[in-house]
Amino acid sequence: MSERQSKVWYKEPWPWILMAGPMIVVIAGLSTFYIAKTNMADLVSDDYYKEGKYIDLNLKRDREALKRNMAAQVLVSPEGNSAKVFVSGDFDRSTPLKLVFLHPAKKEQDQTVELSADQAVSGDKALYSAAFRTLPKTQHWYVRVEDAAGVWRLDDKWIVSQGHAVNLQPKDYAKK
């Protein structure tokens, strides 16, 4: 009779094959957690009540832009690091204006720059220039032109694939 000598468990292939599945799941879970943590989106507000009160103020700024017959056209350079802005309507041209780019998901990508007035004025339009950090690639941006005093604002969504120009019109909430 020949007796088989049994090997130590860790020299057998079956325990390793059976443990491979759970080990792969643990590694995949840790990898998924790392990816989610490093690419976290800023979509949820910490203080939704305060944000809700702020919405009413923003609606007043939209109504003020409508009352002043405001409009703007933002022409972003193909490199995505400068813009020309044409603004028309009843506003104080000596008041500084701001151009705001809001990333749809990552707050750290948002940019606010002060517009500098150019000498050239075409009809009732005032021409402004802006230089900023190169905009990261994304499907769309939220673009806003506003006065520094916070009296009025114009904003809209800019879909990057549709060109380098975005027209900003005041929102008329009475029609909705």
More confident residue, 148 or 46: 148
pLDDT digits (tens, 9 = 90+) for 4-56: 677 888 888 999 999 999 999 999 999 999 998 888 776 655 665 556 555 56
With cut-offs at 50, 70 and 90, classify the pLDDT of residue 98.
very high
102, with CB counted inside 10 A (0-12, 13-18, 19+), is middle
pLDDT of the residue at 106: 84
Could you tell me the two tokens for 132? Answer: 């900023």
Distances (CA, A) of 154 to 44, 46, 93, 97: 24, 25, 16, 11
For residue 150, what pLDDT is reported?
87
Per residue in 75-84, pLDDT (tens digit) is 999 999 999 9
Cβ atoms of residues 143 and 166 within 8 Å: yes
Rounded to whole angstroms, the Cα distance separating 72 from 126 reads 9
Strand ranges of the sheet holding 140-147, from the earlier edge strand across to the other edge: 153-159, 140-147, 97-102, 111-122, 125-131, 82-88, 71-76, 165-168
Whole-number Å distance between alpha carbons of 8 and 15: 11
Give residue 45's Cα distance to chain centre: 14
- Rounded to a whole number of angstroms, the CA Rg of the chain reads 28
CA angle 100, 104, 105 (to 5 degrees): 120
Beta-carbon contacts of 106 under 8 Å, excluding residues fewer than 6 positions away, are 41, 42
